[in-house]
Structure 1
Amino acid sequence: MRSRPAARLLVINPSGCILLFKFTHGNDALAGRTYWATPGGGVECGESFEQAAIRELWEETGIVSDKIGASVAQRNFVMTLPSGETVKAEERFFVVRVANHQINGDNWSHDEKQVISEHHWWSEEELKTTCEVVYPQNMVELLMSIRGKSESAG
């Protein structure tokens, strides 16, 4: 089983809400599955996780940044891709604080256009009370950890 490194983005607005995309699979190996997840994607050949995070930020949100901070969390697990391939996922998460809510999907790939059905800025309370599937499953704890780190640094 091959390893699949990926950069995931915790895009947070001034109100402390996090951007998540709704993935609705219709005609692929994950057909019938719907869930919310952070923007991000696979690290391309020759890229670092940080470089992938900057590229994915631009591709999936339209937000341009030439620098991104260190990874704040990571997770490793086995997952099935929409192609049907099973991989060992190695995800690293990067925080991106934004000033506005504008998202531009003009740079989405064909596959992203097929599965991303909407986006939403989720509050911590919404995440705590939703019945929707959200990845990573510990999103609330992750956000609380990030908030704690930024408060102690400030």
Structure 2
Amino acid sequence: MTEPLTYGLGPEWEPGPDGVPFRRAARVILLDDDDRVLLVRGHDAGEVTRTWWFTVGGGLDAGESAHDGAVREVREETGLSVAHDALVGPVLTRSALFDFARVTCRQDEEFFLARVDSADAVTDAGWTLLERDVLDEMRWWELDELESAVAAGTVVYPLALPTLVRRLLDGWDGSVEHLDESSL
């Protein structure tokens, strides 16, 4: 039996029609009681000096819904439990094309919103070996601080995250914006 082609990225990556590795993913914009957003900082395995911040989340398992994947990813990546009915959305969809580990990848994402208690401890205990290799830290960001960091050159994905979070602070209006970040 031949091993599935995973590009060294993980089993959820499949070759797309154009041969580019593709996966579907669920991401969660986690806000705490103080309207801070939890982000993860990672680096590129193929170029370790290249770093960026992003929301909690990741690839969907075979047959898994984005909603179920979002709940699972929050638990695995942060140790926090978010109830299914506590997820709002999807509030955003995003198509992205990016380089990682010297491989061009394509990912379609659904973003959800959830609020968590800031007193709950965040942990990386559920990180996979690949995540432990490329994820550097988790941090709660105040929105003003995040906007200033982005203006100073800090890379955050999606690129419009600070603006999106600011719009969601008073609640979700039911609209689902689509971001196309599929050009390198």
TM, length-normalised to structure 2: 0.74
How far apart are residue 33 of structure 1 and its match?
0.8
SS state at 1:14 partner: coil
Q: Is the CA contact 2:82–2:114 (under 8 Å) kept in the aligned structure 1?
A: no
The answer for the alignment partner of 1:64 in structure 2 is 81
The answer for the alignment partner of 1:142 in structure 2 is 164
How far apart are residue 117 of structure 1 and its match?
1.5
- Given residue 36 of structure 1, which amino acid in structure 2 is its aligned partner? W
The answer for the alignment partner of 2:17 in structure 1 is none
Distance 1:24 1:4, change over 3 A: same
How far apart, in 1, do the equivalents of 2:30 and 2:99 lie?
25
1:52 aligns with 2:69: yes
How far apart, in 2, do the equivalents of 1:35 and 1:99 lie?
25
| Between structures 1 and 2, the one with greater helix share | 1
Q: Is the CA contact 2:82–2:116 (under 8 Å) kept in the aligned structure 1?
A: no
SS state at 2:90 partner: coil
Name the larger-Rg structure.
2
Query: Structure 1 stretches of 5 or more lacking a match?
Result: none
The answer for the alignment partner of 2:105 in structure 1 is 87
Distance 1:44 1:81, change over 3 A: farther
The answer for the alignment partner of 1:37 in structure 2 is 54
Q: Which has the higher contact order (CA 8 A, sep 6+)?
A: 1
How far apart, in 2, do the equivalents of 1:14 and 1:149 lie?
13
How far apart, in 2, do the equivalents of 1:146 and 1:85 lie?
33
The answer for the alignment partner of 2:39 in structure 1 is 20
RMSD of aligned C-alpha atoms? 1.9
**Structure 1 ranges of 4+ moved more than 6 A:** none
How far apart, in 2, do the equivalents of 1:41 and 1:23 lie?
13
1:124 aligns with 2:146: no
Percent of aligned pairs with the same residue? 30
How far apart, in 1, do the equivalents of 2:139 and 2:26 lie?
20
1:74 aligns with 2:96: no
Aligned pairs, number: 149
How far apart are residue 2 of structure 1 and its match?
4.2
